[in-house]
Structure 1
Amino acid sequence: MKLWLSLLTALALMTAPALAQSKPPAGPTVVLDTSKGAVTIRLRPDLAPKHVERITTLVKEKFYDGVPFHRVISGFMAQTGDPTGTGTGGSKYPDVDAEFSRESFKRGTVGMARAGDPNSANSQFFICFAAAPWLDGQYTIVGDVVSGMDVVDQLKKGQGQSGSVSGPDIVKTARLGG
């Protein structure tokens, strides 16, 4: 009996670190107070440290305050982070090189928007309404919505294939959470 308990204890001690590692590490959070309500995003510096640094810098500078959700495609994603509202704007900082991971885009995943060049992400990001596996390994994942997906679902949807929104909802303020 003692041998059996010793073996079980040893097995538990050996697998505990592996189980702990399967859960993503806790990262900083960003709270977007939108015209529809609050959305809390847990950032993932373990996946994209340079992109998370950029977003936290921009939040601290109040860059996202007043920025519209300029592109919202029903069943796909809601995009923000362009102060011009055209989808072509960005921050004063240089673009960030891609940080692709093996994580998969699913409902609530937050990814960095970019142009055709994989290394062209700057300030814009999007929140997925549903799984989008065709983005896996092609776009940088920076976080996950941990509360407020019901708010994201309520954002005004855009028209046409581009999802361009007339009279869009906005990020009233963005702030770092706990």
Structure 2
Amino acid sequence: MKLTTAMKVRIFYLFLKWSMQLKISRYLVALIIVSALLLNGCLTPQTNSDISKSFNAAEETSENVDYTNITPMSDDIKSSDPLMKNLPRLEGKATVIMTVKGSPITIELDGINAPITSGNFVDLVQKGVFDGLAFHRVIGPTTNQDPFVVQGGDPQSKDPKFPINRLGTGNYIEPKTGQVRYIPLEIKAKEYGKATYGKTISKAPELPHTLGAIAMARSQMPNSASSQFYFALADLGFLDGNYAVFGYVTDGMTTVNKIEQGDRIESARVIKGAENLKQPDKS
């Protein structure tokens, strides 16, 4: 018998309920959620209700983007692989104000340790991509669960009629080419002194998943991140080395903790460091 998406979600819910009844460590449960939810979409990582659907879709669409042969790579993005040169990058720091529920969330982006990931985010902010998008995955205080993540950035949520339980598979599409923009998994280990691209690492990262971290969601494919991102609602060290953190909330965590599924980003603006964004050389 072929299981439908609804059946799979129901089975997953029952498993979590059973885990809680047995009083399994919340960290183990969180790890299970990460594997089933985030990696698929929480990160458009395996992520949640659309677990299988959202991740299979991301895997299929990212097949044409292969960064696996460029790892590790020098921090000099300009002289690296041609695919990398087609992506915007942030050479320094930048500050973004994201307004949700009428309140500002201040985010400092670190282009020093995550130039490609930060550059992609700042570029999308400047293009107005995030304005009006919904937070489709929330695991935390507003859902009566242990603090975990709040995820948004799926362009499909721009349409208020798009079912929220189907979100988690959308990516940013370049208007001029009609192609999805994917960015490589970018993590800089303290020990290496330079970023590693296209694969996870086991070393301590320069940008860890501490409370307030902002990181890119992705599917099981390392290089499938596009526009979806998440805020860490607690210290989530077990995600370090697997997902790309690119900044931190410096003010407004109270607002982040109040975000509910369906809440929308009213606006997102770069208020400082816009000059550090460098667009790809078209020559």
Equivalence for 1:88: 169
Secondary structure of 1:70 counterpart? strand
Query: Mapping of 1:9-48 within 5 angstroms?
Result: 27-48=93-114
> 1:1-178 alignment to 2 at 5 Å?
27-74=93-140, 75-85=147-157, 86-92=167-173, 93-101=180-188, 102=205, 103-156=207-260, 165=261, 168-178=262-272
Code of the residue aligned with 1:136 in structure 2: it is D
Unaligned runs of 5+ in 2: 1-90, 141-146, 158-166, 174-179, 189-204, 273-283
Identical amino acids, percent of aligned pairs: 34
TM-score by length of 1: 0.77
User: TM-score, structure 2 length as denominator?
Assistant: 0.49
- For residues 76 and 121 of structure 1, the distance between their equivalents in structure 2, rounded to whole angstroms, comes to 19
Relative contact order: is structure 1 or structure 2 higher (C-alpha 8 Å, sep ≥ 6)? 1
Distance in 2 between residues matched to 1:105 and 1:151, nearest whole Å: 19
Task: Provide, for residues 36-77 of structure 1, a one-character-per-residue CA deviation record: whole Å limited to 9, x for no partner.
Answer: 511010001112111111111111110000000111111101
Structure-2 separation of matches of 1:79 and 1:37: 17
- Of Structure 1 and Structure 2, which has the larger fraction of its residues in strand? 1
Letter in 1 for 2:182: D
Asked if the contact 1:36/1:154 (under 8 Å) is kept, the reply is no
Aligned length: 144
Structure 1, gaps ≥5 residues long: 1-24, 157-164
**How far off is 1:26 after superposition?**
6.6
Query: In the alignment, is the contact (CA less than 8 A) between 1:36 and 1:169 conserved in 2?
Result: no
RMSD: 1.5
Tell me what 1:162 maps to: none
Please say if residues 36 and 155 of structure 1, whose CA atoms lie closer than 8 Å, have aligned partners that are also in contact: no
* Alpha-carbon distance, 1:83 to partner: 1.9
